[in-house]
Structure 1
Amino acid sequence: MRAQAKEQREDQIAQAAYALMAEKGFQGLSMLAVSKRAKASNETLYRWYGDKLGLFQALISRNAAQVADALDEALEQRDDPRQTLQNLGPTLLGMLLSPRAIALNRAAAADASNTLGQVLAKSGRGEVFPRISTLFQQLVETGTLTGPAETAAALWVDLLVGDWQIRCATGAIDPPTPAQQQARAQSAEALLFQLRG
């Protein structure tokens, strides 16, 4: 299967999985139901993802890739780290507060075994946060921020995300608008530089 065709098929599978999670929750999700909704063979799903947990992990990785890929490109090109940080805030919030991320967080929160939460942490934050730390290392190396870089990165994430992610997942608030996310990102950056600049 060509790369473009496989990507389209993976997108159809992801759309089907998210739609079924919205209807039935993760516990009600089955590989057979996803394959039928996506008009894909059940064998393809098992070959690509292994099982339902593997599919969940792939959904998380796919969701996190939009941030990870943008960060990788900026870090490889050695873009201005301050500008990269300014671009990263709204991008990260957009990913974390998207309907897909909310669905994944709700599924993880409802899992009494904590397995989904562990997968979410590994494939989400575990993939993105090291890249954020690398960006912050560049900010420290250029004298823009005081170190240690990982502590500053964690502080920025806390200032940026706060409790928005959990409040959206629980339905306590509607996802903030792009304008609200942009304002939050600017505020987090300003506070970060007051504390660590």
Structure 2
Amino acid sequence: MEDKSKEARRRQIEDAAYKMLGEKGYAGTSMQGIARAAKASNETLYNWYGDKKGLMAALIARNTDTVRDTLSSHINADPLDRLAHLGPTLLAMVLGSRAVALNRAAAADPSGDLGRALARGGRETVAPMVTALMTDSPLRGQPDRLTQLYLTLLIGDLQIRRATGAMEPPTQEFCTTRAAEALDMLKRLAT
């Protein structure tokens, strides 16, 4: 029971953090404000996350966990099938409201702290997972370069378009179709 309660509490805190990021940006978001909005104690936030940077890293990690979970749930599939399952999940995650809030806040953060945390916890975490699939796949080419090509085909400028408001949230059908097209183009280019 305690684990469910703690998880529910974490979600409340994270929801409050995302709301505050959206309203006040990274610079205007404080641990005290998040604690107040989540009806949690400052002590709880500092014990669980350390500081604001730690909380942001936890938000990013939770998003990245969706990618890791998808890969884990298809562990016995061949690498290209795993990539086919990963694509829609990855695209939905990077274009989702939480990633958009983090990207907008990072873009407005003059210190660059949040942007660096996003790079570490996002692309620098996900790209090696994709590269491992490329290494084990029948595709020809350097795995790192295949990863970069795949991510470009899959995401392109969609993430910035979402962050700037030029694109509405995508449907699951859009993510599934776009991911299938990206993988098909990659196969054509690398076989």
TM-score class, shorter: over 0.9
| Identity percentage of aligned residues | 49
| TM-score scaled by length of structure 1 | 0.91
For the Cα contact (< 8 Å) 1:68–1:127, is it kept in 2?
no
Q: Which residue is 1:8 aligned to?
A: 8
Counting only pairs closer than 5 Å after superposition, residues 69-84 of structure 1 correspond to structure 2 as: 69-74=69-74, 77-84=75-82
Amino acid at match of 1:97: L
How many residues of Structure 1 are paired with residues of Structure 2 in the alignment? 191
Q: Deviations over 1:129-164 (max 9, x none)?
A: 11111111111xxxx211311211111011000000
**Corresponding residue SS for 2:169:** coil
Q: In 1, distance between residues paired with 2:7 and 2:148?
A: 33
Offset of 1:73 from its aligned partner?
A: 4.2
Offset of 1:110 from its aligned partner?
A: 0.7
Counterpart pick for 2:184 among 167, 187, 190: 190
Q: Which residue is 1:49 aligned to?
A: 49
Please report the RMSD computed on the Cα atoms of aligned residues, expressed in angstroms: 1.5
Is 1:91 the equivalent of 2:85? no
Q: In 2, distance between residues paired with 1:193 and 1:186?
A: 11
Q: In 1, distance between residues paired with 2:115 and 2:144?
A: 22
| TM-score scaled by length of structure 2 | 0.94
**Ranges in structure 1 where 5+ consecutive residues have no aligned partner:** none
Counting only pairs closer than 5 Å after superposition, residues 96-135 of structure 1 correspond to structure 2 as: 96-135=94-133
For the Cα contact (< 8 Å) 1:72–1:131, is it kept in 2?
no
> Higher relative contact order by CA 8 Å / sep ≥ 6: 1 or 2?
2
**Corresponding residue SS for 1:26:** helix
Q: Deviations over 1:154-185 (max 9, x none)?
A: 11011000000011101122122222222211
- Which aligned runs of 4 or more in structure 1 are off by greater than 3 angstroms? none
Q: Which residue is 1:68 aligned to?
A: 68
For the Cα contact (< 8 Å) 1:20–1:29, is it kept in 2?
yes
